[in-house]
Amino acid sequence: MVNGGLKKNFPALKRQPFFSPVWLAGIATLAGVAVLMLLGFAAWTYSRAESTTVIVVRHAEQDPSVAEDPPLSAVGAARSQQLAVLFGSTTPPGKLTAILSSPALRCRLTVAPLAAQLGLTPVVVPEAADSTAAAALARQILRDYDGGRVLIAAHGDAIPAIVSALSGRADIPSIAVDEYGTLYVVTVPRLGTANLLRLHY
């Protein structure tokens, strides 16, 4: 009698767990997709929120009458004032975090009005004499000013290498000898591809 009762109930006991692995697998799959979506959104938000913006400009026009480490000419001094108008906002959002300059006097004078307006002390950085030095400078900027907004004044022959190192692009055109008004805005996210904007002022 007991054995007969077990036999009658045994098929019912076998049926109960039959569909449960299917439901569990479906729930686990949905949960995995949801987690991946949340992680992807978090990574996207994190990368966009922590972008570093670097503005790369050439020094303004120099005084042709001075051969060694020349200052700015009158035209160059006027251009440096224009730079202060463009990027001299003293209130957020958009206020510069730091100003960098190559050691040359013309580079330091180019950023001087902007630095005075923002109350920032320009940081003198090594000249980017070649692609290796430009890559080292780019790494330094992204490390020291992560998530910030930086302007750097450099020499015309160094600008393509600096912009290339920051953006990862190899198609940056050279700067002409008489080209002083070109500037680049490079936005570098922690994750993903950098954005690049070329402007004239």
Angstrom distance (rounded) from CA 86 to CA 130: 29
Q: Return the structure tokens found at 89.
A: 């906002």
User: Residue 84's closest CA among 107, 117, 123, 56?
Assistant: 117
User: Residue 57's closest CA among 122, 150, 152, 171?
Assistant: 152
pLDDT of residue 39: 64
Do 53 and 190 touch, CB atoms closer than 8 A? no
**Tens digit of pLDDT per residue, the chain (201 long)?**
555 555 555 555 555 555 566 666 667 677 666 666 666 555 544 545 589 999 999 999 999 999 999 999 999 999 999 999 999 999 888 899 999 999 999 999 999 999 999 999 999 999 998 999 999 999 999 999 999 999 999 999 999 999 999 999 999 999 999 999 999 999 999 999 999 999 999
Residue position matching structure tokens 């940056």: 172
Angstrom distance (rounded) from CA 87 to CA 61: 19
As to burial, measured by CB atoms within 10 angstroms (0-12 exposed, 13-18 middle, 19+ buried), residue 6 is exposed
